[in-house]
Structure 1
Amino acid sequence: MLLYLGLTLSACSIIISNNNNNKPEIKTTISNQGFNQLKVSVTATDISVKYGDKYNVEYEGPKNLKPTVSRKNGSLTIKQSASGIHRINGDPTITITVPKHLLKSLNLSTDDGDIEVENIATTNPISLNTDDGDIDINNLKSPSGKIDTSDGDITINKLNSKNGFKINTDDGDIHISMSNFSGYNLNVDDGDIKVKGDSSSDTFTQNKNSTNVLTASTQDGDIKIK
């Protein structure tokens, strides 16, 4: 039997991925506390934040990588300690549901994993970051924010903002649809840019001095705005 082996190094941790379709070791609720601010910082885990019937944080993956959860003054913090060597099957996942659309803040970070945000609004700027993974957003309202992945695609549908967003991927495509940006400042090193019918091979600027500007870049990939 052939196994695909992947290595993720972070601080003093080594994650070895054995993608042989084995089931995760545990699936458990790690918190059902209410919160209005959310901060997630994990090593090798997918993150999903979405609107739901109740506050709930569910973890699915190896028991020894189970995150810790703390809550203070309405702020929920989720962290994952992964020192040492760990072998994992599949993709560990943290799924967070929020019964209220509106959060004060949202900060999500994973070293190796995808990030998904769906049907969420925030009163403060958001921050989404993954070193190796895709970022998918559907129906997000936030005054501004920063979205970054070193190796992955960024797909956004229905983004409502007031003060612009900064979006970057070093190696991947950026696709954005049904968003309300009033200006664009777009750059690609090796790829194409398409903005609502207009095309460019390296840069595209339009109303870049307006308030709600999308600043986006990719070194190796395309940018498409619909």
Structure 2
Amino acid sequence: MKRGMEMLILAIVIILVILGILKVQDMNKVSSEQVVQKVLTNCEFNQVKVDTSNANIKVKQGNHYRVLFEGRQKLLPKVEVKNKRLIVEDKDGIKVVNGNLFDLFKKHSVVPQITIELPNDKLKNIEIDNSNGSVTVQGVAVSQGEIDLSNGNIMVDHSTADGYDLDTSNGHVEINGSNKGDSYSKDDKARRVLSIDNSNGDITVSYGG
């Protein structure tokens, strides 16, 4: 009886030690994945190309040129400016789908936020390819470009393109406040066309005026 009690106490102690170790490891992991806020560049640009797998992307008019990132340290994207073309992409071409896509479903997960600001109210061209997250272009005139999104909503509040080719598989397209169903096309062979393809989410575009 006495030996059995000793074995039980030993087993409880071992379990508590293991739980303690796991807790410390979990705390260390959380610490290494702390949310950071960083300015990634202040270089001048008039074109934007973004290729990411998981981020909310916002392009807006600001007081100066800069790219802001808010999210986990290990998800910091690679940023460079070539010939006034801003390029933002996942580091080393590694997509989140190969790693921590399931983090999206965790209760306290943080979807990275990439905010692109420019003092000029016009963009010559915009290219965005994003798997998961919203895309918002606010206060900046877009003359042409391509936006491809798998899951999320897209909003462009000021377009000066000559033509449009907008399509969503699961959602609706809204043009200047009017619902156009799941697709909208106008002068899609023009020289400057805004093309948007969304697999799951709404597309909202305002132009003219």
Normalised to the residue count of structure 1, the TM-score between the two structures is: 0.59
Native 8 Å contact 2:149 2:197 kept in 1: no
- Residue in 2 aligned with 1:102? 122
- Residue in 1 aligned with 2:155? 136
Establish whether residue 85 from structure 1 lines up as the match of residue 95 from structure 2.
no
Deviating above 4 A after TM superposition, structure 1's stretches of 4 or more consecutive aligned residues are: 207-226
- Residue in 1 aligned with 2:77? 67
Native 8 Å contact 1:104 1:122 kept in 2: yes
- Residue in 2 aligned with 1:29? 39
Please identify which structure carries the higher helix content. Answer: 2
When the two chains are superposed, the root-mean-square deviation of aligned CA atoms in Å is 3.9
CA distance in 2, matches of 1:43, 1:224: 21
The amino acid across from 1:176 in the alignment is: I
Q: String of CA shifts for 1:143-164, please: whole Å, max 9, x gaps.
A: 2xxxxxxxxxxxxxxxxxx2x2
- Residue in 2 aligned with 1:176? 175
Native 8 Å contact 1:174 1:221 kept in 2: no
Give the total of aligned pairs: 162
CA distance in 2, matches of 1:78, 1:221: 23
CA distance in 2, matches of 1:91, 1:74: 28
Please identify which structure carries the higher strand content. Answer: 1
- Residue in 2 aligned with 1:166? 165
CA distance in 1, matches of 2:140, 2:158: 7
Change (3 A) 1:208 1:102: closer
Q: String of CA shifts for 1:188-221, please: whole Å, max 9, x gaps.
A: 5xxxx9xxxxxxxxxx99x989979999999999
Q: String of CA shifts for 1:96-118, please: whole Å, max 9, x gaps.
A: 11100122211112111110001
How far has the Cα of 1:138 moved from its partner? 1.3
Q: Which has the higher contact order (CA 8 A, sep 6+)?
A: 2
Percent identity of paired positions between Structure 1 and Structure 2: 26
CA distance in 1, matches of 2:131, 2:202: 23
Q: String of CA shifts for 1:5-48, please: whole Å, max 9, x gaps.
A: xxxxxxxxxxxxxxxxxx96111111111111111111111110
Q: What stretches of structure 1 of length at least 5 have no aligned partner?
A: 1-22, 144-161, 180-185, 194-203
The amino acid across from 1:113 in the alignment is: G
Q: Which has the larger radius of gyration?
A: 2
